[in-house]
Amino acid sequence: IIFGSFYLQPSYNPLESLCELTSLITNSLKESILCCSNFERENEKLKSLADMSVKKAISSRLNSCFYILVCRCPTYALSEVDKSSDKSSLQEDLDDLIPFKNRRKSKPVIGRRN
């Protein structure tokens, strides 16, 4: 007897054939579930490997960009004398950015009225 992909020996007891068919189906389902769980585990491994490779690629690109920027921009180390004069110039720059109370207030520009 052929039932789907299962082959059963003919028997005179239909209950025995049903039990054999049921056990074949459950064994097939167990194998399918085991294969699916193996596929899921492999899928998780591949996903983590892909994530790591993407992170490595992005970090290497960023590192190369930062390296190029560092090479193009001049860097300098301040001496102790430069630090004190630089602090005062930084304070002056900050003072220029912060508006004083006694400065004239600018009025917002509103469109012309007809």
The pLDDT score that the predictor gives to residue 76 is 46
Domain boundaries, the chain: 2-97
91-112 core/surface letters (b: 16 or more CB in 10 A; e: else): eeeeeeeeeeeeeeeeeeeeee
Full-model pTM: 0.38
- Across the chain, what does the average pLDDT equal? 72
Q: Which two tokens stand for residue 21?
A: 């068919």
What's the pLDDT score for residue 39? 84
Does 78 have pLDDT greater than 50?
A: no
Model confidence over 24-41: pLDDT tens digits? Answer: 889 888 988 888 888 888
Terminal-residue alpha carbon distance, the chain: 96
